[in-house]
Amino acid sequence: MNSLTYKKAGVDIDEGDRFVRLISPMVKKTFRTEVITDIGSFNALFRLDTKKYKKPILVSGTDGVGTKLKIAFMMDRHNTVGIDLVAMCVNDILTSGSEPLFFLDYFATGRLKPEKAAEVIEGIVDGCKQAGCSLIGGETAEMPGFYPDGEYDLSGFAVGVVEKNRIIDGSKIKKDDAIIGVASTGLHSNGYSLVRKVFFDIKKMNADTYISELGTTLGEELLKPTRIYVKAFNAIKNKIGVKGMAHITGGGITENLPRIFQKGIGAVIKKSSWPVPPIFNLIKEMGNVSDNDMRQTFNMGIGYIIVTPEAESKKTISILKKAGFDSSVIGNIEKGIKGIQYE
């Protein structure tokens, strides 16, 4: 009887080592000067610049890409979901006004295919560059029999820092403050279970189907990466009195914006105040999805919200435009209402 090895059981350590060699050069391109360890250590060390911050507060967040990964598997295209992963994490920690410092990823698959996994890391590297943070470590787990052949899962972890007296927590939001919606690139990374149900189960469409309303194929539209808003905040943080920020993910504006409100205030959102990308109208019509469910599932074209004094709203929109981010005033803060009211 031949002896059993770890490789025969489904885990190839040599392929794992080759994967590390493949990704190391591009990962190092994300290193900030504060990174003081190399790829492959048991841990990652990051020197916090205490001269830059008098009372530094660390901010952390974790998230995944969700079933959007199914679209990547379907199209066999893997170099964009890493951007989604970084975006979902850094956009969350950004809401406190923090500067993203470093990022770690977790990549799990049944059988490691280094070239495919390297494509995923390519996207993570791209996302980290957009966010200005370092990809300083991660974990690659090869688990035979746990995932279907050719599939994988992703999760990420981001850490940032903010000066204690500059934390943005919504506590200063008051009546008549302006709610500024910053445009999304489309679906981002939420609602894909419903999306897949509509297009692939009900309508029996293919990912390579060209849709004139979108100006591209269905698959290309569904794989558009989540937008990273770090540069948007950096453009306004020292020029505008930002009172609150919200990352519009699963739950839409309806569920996410109230998370930054104190008791006694709410928001009036004007539904016609921003352009809704065509993908959302397609989902609504093809799936016969109600307006309420659409607003409680998707971002509807608004990926990030910034609350400012009403007097600074025009200036905010102008600065964001110059930084490459389309935005508009989509509503205002009111007293005596709960949550979100749409007009």
- Whole-number Å distance between alpha carbons of 78 and 118: 9
- Tell me, yes or no, whether 195 and 137 share the same domain: no
Asked if residue 143 belongs to a domain, the reply is: yes
Q: Could you say which of 166, 191, 210 is where a domain stops?
A: 166
Asked if residue 40 belongs to a domain, the reply is: yes
Which helix (H) or strand (E) element contains residue 123?
helix 114-131
Domain total in the chain: 2
Per-residue pLDDT tens, the chain, 343 aa: give them.
577 776 776 777 778 788 888 888 888 999 999 999 888 788 999 999 888 999 999 999 999 999 999 999 999 999 999 999 999 999 999 999 999 999 999 999 999 998 999 999 999 999 999 999 999 999 999 999 999 999 999 999 999 999 999 999 999 999 999 999 999 999 999 999 999 999 999 999 999 999 999 999 999 999 999 999 999 999 999 999 999 999 999 999 999 999 999 999 999 999 999 999 999 999 999 999 999 999 999 999 999 999 999 999 999 999 999 999 999 999 999 999 999 999 9
| Partners of residue 163 on adjacent β-strands | 56
Domain with residue 133: its CATH number is 3.30.1330.10
Asked if residue 172 belongs to a domain, the reply is: no
- Tell me, yes or no, whether 120 and 247 share the same domain: no
- Tell me, yes or no, whether 141 and 235 share the same domain: no
Q: What is the pLDDT of residue 243?
A: 98
- The candidate with the shortest Cα–Cα distance to 97, out of 230, 204, 282, is 230
In 288-338, alpha helices (H): 291-295, 313-322
SS3 330: strand
Asked if residue 187 belongs to a domain, the reply is: yes
- Tell me, yes or no, whether 263 and 145 share the same domain: no
Amino acid at 222: L
- Tell me, yes or no, whether 109 and 21 share the same domain: yes
Asked if residue 135 belongs to a domain, the reply is: yes
Q: What is the pLDDT of residue 147?
A: 93
Q: Could you say which of 112, 134, 166 is where a domain stops?
A: 166
- Tell me, yes or no, whether 185 and 162 share the same domain: no
Asked if residue 275 belongs to a domain, the reply is: yes
- Tell me, yes or no, whether 111 and 256 share the same domain: no
- Tell me, yes or no, whether 223 and 192 share the same domain: yes
Asked if residue 7 belongs to a domain, the reply is: no
Asked if residue 173 belongs to a domain, the reply is: no
- Tell me, yes or no, whether 100 and 226 share the same domain: no
- Tell me, yes or no, whether 193 and 257 share the same domain: yes
SS3 108: strand
Domain with residue 240: its CATH number is 3.90.650.10
- Tell me, yes or no, whether 244 and 333 share the same domain: yes
Q: What is the pLDDT of residue 42?
A: 86
Q: What is the pLDDT of residue 100?
A: 98
Q: Could you say which of 142, 166, 190 is where a domain stops?
A: 166
| Partners of residue 180 on adjacent β-strands | 306, 329
- Tell me, yes or no, whether 61 and 121 share the same domain: yes
Q: What is the pLDDT of residue 1?
A: 56
Torsion of CA 245, 251, 254, 260, to 10 degrees: -30
Q: What is the pLDDT of residue 50?
A: 87
Domain that residue 114 falls in: 13-166
